[in-house]
Amino acid sequence: MNSKPAGGFVRESLARQYLSYYDGQLRTDAETPSAVKVQRLGPLRLINFAGGQGFITYPHITPTDDTHLASLVGEALAYFREQPEINGVEWKSRGHDYEPGLHEQLLAHGFAADASESIMVGRAADLIAETPLPAGVRLRQVVSETDVRAMTAMQDRTFGEAVSTHHAEAILRRLATADGMQLWVAEDSTGEILSAGRLEPVPGTDFAGIWGGATVAAHRGQGIYRALTAARARAALELGKTLIHSDSTEYSRPILERYGLLKVSTTTPYRWSRTQH
């Protein structure tokens, strides 16, 4: 007798459905709306982003596909190596793809694996909740260069990284494309940013992504990030986006699960840097 609770079957069925939406709608050109150049290599999409960043992605690969991703690593990397303006390359893998030997070939060609993250998907409507904010804290959307630089500096510090002008400039370049990305912050009465995150509606799909979520350590557990997530979900619905997706660390995954998102797979970014080779 199978003792798995009925709720578990429902969640698994829903997660499979969400994963099919993710593969069908997001693993296309919709995945990289800010690409400045796209080159095809078999199933691979080789992407150039502004600022000298390369990116490699592809549709879902199954055992029945006549595709051997591992055999394409060298040629894909050579494509970017021949472009002196490219400083680094990310190969974005997914845990539910059929990719025997890929990990070994990526390492052999100088890529290093980052920590795996959970691919989270759920309904935007499930993320909406009336969450009271601490006294003096307000939410708002930001667009000015001053606000963007303050926001990215807070995110860098919160993630334990050095404050980076590169991070701010990448976001400013993205804003300049007017592709629909929204930046949301929570700030106190003095204007100090306590929490922040992006909303990225994906054209031609049911999806919007929530990214870059960060809250200053001293202000966690006060409902601020919950309220910020709800605000982004409302904005997504206003744009006609009914599904939310995000790649989450093991710190943020349980938070998003409490909000109603489901883990549908994993993603592991592999990175190559010209300065290290």
Q: Which residue has the tokens 């999806």?
A: 207
Cα angle, residue 229 at apex, residues 224 and 234 outer, rounded to 5°: 125
Instruction: Record the pTM.
Output: 0.89
Q: Identify the band that residue 6 occupies on the pLDDT scale cut at 50, 70 and 90.
A: low
Residue 146: both structure tokens together: 């001053």
pLDDT of 134 above 70? yes
Quick: pLDDT tens for 39-53: 999 999 999 998 899
Phi-psi region of 52 (alpha: psi -120 to 50; beta: other; left: phi over 0): left
Q: Which long-range contacts (CB under 8 A, 24 or more apart) does 214-223 make?
A: 214/154, 214/155, 214/158, 214/159, 215/158, 215/186, 216/154, 216/158, 217/158, 219/134, 219/194, 219/195, 222/133, 222/134, 223/131, 223/132, 223/133, 223/134
Is 158's pLDDT higher than 60? yes
For residues 228 and 225, give the distance between their C-alpha atoms in angstroms, rounded to a whole number.
Answer: 5
The residue-averaged pLDDT of 93-104 equals: 96
Q: How many CA atoms lie within 13 A of 189 on its CB side?
A: 3
DSSP-assigned letter for residue 30: G
The CATH T-level fold of domain 123-263 is Aminopeptidase (3.40.630)
> Do residues 247 and 93 make contact, with C-beta atoms less than 8 angstroms apart?
no
CA pair distance 264, 12, nearest whole angstrom: 9
Task: Give the single-character DSSP code of 82.
Answer: T
pLDDT tens digits for 167-190? 999 899 889 989 899 999 999 999
Of 1.10.287, 3.10.450, 1.20.1410, 3.40.630, the CATH number of 6-119+268-276 is 3.40.630
Task: Give the three-state DSSP class for 231.
Answer: helix
Report helix, strand or coil for 117. strand
d(CA 203, CA 197): 19
What is the pLDDT, as a whole number, of residue 1?
43
Residues of the chain with CATH 3.40.630.30: 123-263
Q: What's the CA gap between 71 and 119, in Å, rounded?
A: 26
According to the model, what pLDDT value does residue 5 have? 57
The pLDDT-based confidence of 166 (bands split at 50, 70, 90) is: confident
**CA 32 to centroid of chain Cα atoms:** 11
Cα separation, 26 vs 273, whole angstroms = 26
Q: How far is CA 52 from the centre of its chain?
A: 19
Say yes or no to pLDDT of 31 above 50: yes
